[in-house]
């Protein structure tokens, strides 16, 4: 699939913002995404068993990461873009309904999970429903076709302080570039990206963070754009 080139400065910025994980961190990160995608809170002991590492080591790694959220029982319910708690971005994989922290999360997480995802969101200006099918290979379908996405470039210290407040709250799908442009003017520091460019940016982030990015791609045929999700979703 051909995707438009990404602005080199933006790609370099995102690489610095989400730096490469070491081999142990990569194992833990990918396993955590996939366990969370099963739709249940993830106990740290279960995660440790999944990756074959000691619970103490897994706990140490998680304690040093930002963007990991726990429930009252101490189990993981949210991790860097993927959540069990309801948000405005519904994210369906393998028949399970999950949620994403922001619009961009829905574009790069399918590659990490290795499956296609059905996304439902709403334009924050018009309120119109936006629906997508995203696979590890790109955006397969989108309704409306004119949909674009906003993006922001905070400092890494701001992400560590509160990733939702400084990053996720500024990244939305919009039904058109014109509507997004009005919103961008009211939110200094944000910009508009096409979906293809935003997906490609996520692909580069995954490649920079994970050595095995080629191995976490779905090998099954792409989802057909006429998936019933587009006919029946409300």
Distance CA 122, CA 153 (A): 22
Is-catalytic flag, 63?
A: no
From the list 71, 105, 123, 211, the catalytic residue is 105
From the list 7, 102, 123, 215, the catalytic residue is 102
Distance CA 195, CA 191 (A): 13
From the list 168, 196, 211, 215, the catalytic residue is 168
217 is written with which tokens?
A: 């791609």
- 3-state SS string for the chain: CCCCCCCHHHHHHHHHHCCCCCHHHHHHHHHHHHHHCCCCCECHHHHHHHHCCCHHHHHHHHHCCCCEEECCCCCEEEECCEECCCCCEEEEECCEEEEECCCCHHHHHHHHHCCCEEEEEECCCCCCEEEEEEECCEEEEEECCCCEEEEECCCHHHHHHHHHHHCHHHCCEECCHHHHHHHHHCCCCEEEEEHHHHHHHHHHHHHHHCCCHHHHCCCCCCCCCCCHHHHHCC
Is-catalytic flag, 105?
A: yes
Is-catalytic flag, 218?
A: no
Distance CA 52, CA 33 (A): 16
Active site residues: 102, 105, 168
């Amino acid at each position: 699939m051909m995707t438009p080139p990404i602005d080199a400065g933006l790609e370099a910025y995102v690489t610095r913002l989400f730096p490469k994980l070491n081999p142990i961190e990569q194992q833990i990160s990918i396993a955590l995404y996939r366990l969370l995608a099963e739709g249940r809170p993830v106990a740290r002991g279960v995660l440790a068993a999944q990756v074959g590492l000691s619970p103490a080591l897994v706990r140490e790694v998680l304690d040093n990461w930002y963007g990991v959220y726990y429930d009252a029982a101490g189990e993981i319910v949210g991790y860097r873009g993927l959540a069990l708690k309801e948000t405005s971005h519904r994210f369906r994989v393998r028949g399970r309904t999950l949620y994403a922290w922001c619009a961009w999360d829905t574009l790069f997480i399918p590659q990490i999970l290795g499956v296609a995802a059905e996304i439902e969101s709403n334009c924050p200006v018009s309120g119109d429903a936006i629906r997508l099918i995203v696979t590890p290979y790109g955006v397969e379908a989108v309704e409306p076709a004119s949909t674009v996405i906003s993006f922001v470039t905070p400092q890494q210290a701001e992400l560590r302080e509160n990733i939702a407040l400084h990053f996720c709250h500024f990244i939305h799908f919009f039904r058109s570039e014109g509507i997004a442009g009005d919103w961008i003017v009211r939110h200094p520091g944000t910009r508009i990206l096409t979906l293809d460019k935003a997906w490609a940016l996520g692909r580069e982030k995954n490649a920079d963070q994970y050595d095995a990015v080629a191995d976490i791609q779905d090998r099954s045929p792409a989802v057909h754009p006429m998936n019933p999700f587009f006919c029946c979703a409300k």
